[in-house]
Amino acid sequence: MGFDIENYLKDQTNSDVILFYKGNVDSDVINHVLDTVEDKLVEINEQSRLRKKVYNVLVESLQNLYHHVDKVPEGFEDQTSEKFGMLVVQKVNNGYKIITGNFVRADNVEKLEEKIRRINRSSHEEIKELYKFILNHQRISAKGGGGLGLVDIARKTGNKLEYTFKEYDDKYSFFYLDILVNEENQSATN
Amino acid sequence: MEPIIIEGTPKTPTVKFDAAQGVFEIKGRSIPENSVEFYKPLVDWLDNYKESPLSKTVVNIRLEYFNTSSSKCILDVFKKLEAIHKAKNEVEVNWYYEEDDEDMLEAGEDYESIIRVPFKMIEIAE
């Protein structure tokens, strides 16, 4: 048994958590999470521009989980969830944090990390071009993903993708993606 | 040709494709997990329409949200329209975006730069 994924996440967040979810990420869960967060942002009167960005990023993060999570390791507490993932939506100073967590098979870690690194070393203009290139040249995969989710998140937020891989056992790592959606970068990115 | 009329849902857009008028509309939210399933019939329908299109086709895209999986399918829709335009028929795309939604404007500009069909960007009040 590896480290405690939930406690790690609790250490990373503070009390302004709008939503915490852990379990199977199916279509109904996605609907429910989107509705809950959307209602909450309307309720606290968040300005529509930031609200839309949060919603867009949330859609992509949840659907990334839906399309890409690997099966949970044998012996993990939750064996019933076919697509096990975790999600935290948190209010921070000037925006929102969306943190996702999921298992990644050890042999998929390198590929995913390289993808994120490529995005993180690109300028906003390069990310825009990368998005258009993938849009125009890559087919939708067998898993149903378009390969655009992370690029889109980086493009819409204008922020680097923060991430951690925590080794769970010799076959699996747990991947946390920590996305900041805020107002600050807007003038710089447009 | 029978028109396509699909009511919107929280995850899929309202669609009205009317071959008799040459007016096609996609409106609302397009964020399904499986966008190919939703868009394939539309793309197939356009394949048929392309055989004998009206001299002028107007396309209104008025999306509030769309996911990256839909973005590829929307490109497939535009590629059919591009073929109609290339065959010397008039095609006009009206891309609507809410006034504060620069992401949606940029998304329209992405398509405009990929697809050889005249686009009109139309800002709407929220």
Number of Cβ pairs < 8 A linking chain A and chain B: 69
Could you give the percent of chain B with pLDDT greater than 70? 100
The answer, for A32 touching chain B at a CB cutoff of 8 Å, is no
If you average pLDDT over every residue of chain A, what do you get?
89
When scoring B65, B68, B126 by the number of chain A Cβ atoms within 10 A, the one with the most, hence best to mutate, is: B68
pLDDT digits (tens, 9 = 90+) for A68-91: 898 899 989 999 999 999 999 999
Q: What is the number of other CB atoms lying within 10 angstroms of the CB of residue A73?
A: 19
Tell me the CATH number at B92.
3.30.750
CA distance A3 to chain B (A): 31
* Superfamily per CATH, domain A5-183: Histidine kinase-like ATPase, C-terminal domain (3.30.565.10)
Full 3-state SS string of chain A? CCCCHHHHHHHHCCCCEEEEEEEECCHHHHHHHHHHHHHHHHHCCCCHHHHHHHHHHHHHHHHHHHHHCCCCCCCCCCCCCCCEEEEEEEEECCEEEEEEEEEEEHHHHHHHHHHHHHHHCCCHHHHHHHHHHHHHHCCCCCCCCCCCHHHHHHHHHCCCCEEEEEECCCCEEEEEEEEEEECCCHHHHC
pLDDT digits (tens, 9 = 90+) for A7-53: 666 666 666 889 999 999 999 999 999 999 999 999 999 999 999 99
Per-residue pLDDT band at A1 (split at 50, 70, 90): very low
pTM, two decimal places = 0.92
Per-residue pLDDT band at A190 (split at 50, 70, 90): very low
Domain edges within chain A:
5-183
Q: What is the number of other CB atoms lying within 10 angstroms of the CB of residue A79?
A: 12
Residue B24 domain boundaries: 4-124
ipTM: 0.94
Q: What is the count of structural domains for chain B? A: 1
